[in-house]
Structures are given as structure tokens and as C-alpha cells.
């Protein structure tokens, strides 16, 4: 296996300090405001971002439980293979969320639909492009039955 070095490009600010009260996905965090505090070294990388409605935010689950090959996910009672879930207990605890972009002001990116803990290390920001990122006819495996009962 290859060792890698990944650097934080900033920090995520949110109203959540307790994992127990944090929404599990952006869809369940509608309207929750937060901010990405980007390191000034990356200020130029924020140019042209404000034209997008949503952004992909990649971050480090720095307070997640250790890796487990099987977990019982939210919306289920059966242990599932980790890679078939969105559990943060991953070999490389990297998370991603598609948040609404509200404003870019200097090195502060204001966002909504935030579903992470305050102080989470920010790894990357990418534009959400509906033509590339939305596959509305995709299957959702074991989760399809659970989603039918919650929507």
C-alpha cells in the first residue's frame, strides 16, 4: 500500500459540537448554516466558485470511530459491509457532502445544509455540476427499501 500525505486546506465551522445531534446527510440538514475557513495560501483557488449553486466539500472525519469492516447503518438494523454504507468509520476517514454555496467572501465560504461537526478539517472543494454529478436513475442497493419508508 502507498503512504500519502494529505493536508488540510482549512477548517469547517458549523453549529454542531456533539456527534449525536449532527444530521447524517445534507438532505437532513436543510438550512443549517456553516462556513469554510480556507487557509489564505489557497485564496486564489476560490476565484470563480461563487457562480455555482452547490459545492462538493471533502473533509476528514477526525473524530470518527476506528475502521470496522461491517457496520449497522442508519436506516437499517442489519450489519452491512462498510463500503456499502456512508459510515464515517473508514480506513481513510474521508467524508464528502454536497452543500449549498451561499457566498464567497475573501477566504470564507458561507454554505448551507451543513452536516459535520464544528472544527472538521477541510480537505478540498469542488463544484457540483448537475450534468456530471446527478444520476437520478441509479440503483441504491439495500438502501432502496429503507428510503421508501422515509420519503
Q: Tell me: pLDDT of 118 over 60.
A: yes
Q: From residue 9, give the alpha-carbon distance in Å to each of 23, 51, 86, 120, 144.
A: 24, 21, 23, 11, 35
State how far the Cα of 99 lies from the Cα of 144, in Å rounded to an integer.
Answer: 23
What is the pairing mode between strands 94-105 and 80-81?
unpaired
- Spatial contact of 8 and 36, defined as CB atoms under 8 Å apart: no
Q: Quick one: pLDDT band at residue 99, thresholds 50, 70, 90?
A: very high
Give residue 150's pLDDT band: very low, low, confident or very high (50, 70, 90).
low
Bridge partners (DSSP) of residue 133 are none
Instruction: Choose between 49 and 22: higher pLDDT.
Output: 49
How far apart (Å, rounded) are the C-alpha atoms in residues 35 and 100? 11
Element (H, E) at 144: helix 143-150
CA 47-95-57 angle, to 5 degrees, is 15
Confidence band of 149 (pLDDT split at 50, 70, 90): low
- Closest by Cα among 70, 86, 64 to 19: 64
pLDDT per residue as tens digits for the range 49-68: 999 999 999 999 888 888 98
Cell representation of residue 148: 421508501
Amino acid at each position: 500500500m502507498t503512504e500519502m500525505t494529505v493536508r488540510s486546506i482549512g477548517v469547517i465551522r458549523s453549529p454542531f459540537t456533539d456527534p449525536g445531534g449532527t444530521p447524517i446527510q445534507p438532505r437532513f440538514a436543510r438550512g443549517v448554516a456553516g462556513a469554510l475557513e480556507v487557509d489564505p495560501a489557497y485564496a486564489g483557488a476560490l476565484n470563480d466558485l461563487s457562480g455555482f449553486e452547490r459545492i462538493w466539500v471533502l473533509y476528514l472525519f477526525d473524530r470518527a470511530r476506528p475502521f470496522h469492516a461491517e457496520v449497522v447503518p442508519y436506516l437499517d438494523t442489519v450489519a452491512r459491509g462498510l463500503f456499502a454504507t456512508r459510515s464515517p468509520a473508514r480506513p481513510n476517514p474521508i467524508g464528502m457532502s454536497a452543500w449549498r454555496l451561499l457566498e464567497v467572501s475573501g477566504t470564507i465560504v458561507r454554505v448551507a445544509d451543513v452536516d459535520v461537526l464544528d472544527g472538521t478539517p477541510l480537505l478540498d472543494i469542488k463544484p457540483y455540476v448537475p450534468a456530471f454529478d446527478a444520476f437520478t436513475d441509479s440503483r441504491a442497493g439495500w438502501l432502496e427499501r429503507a428510503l421508501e419508508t422515509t420519503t
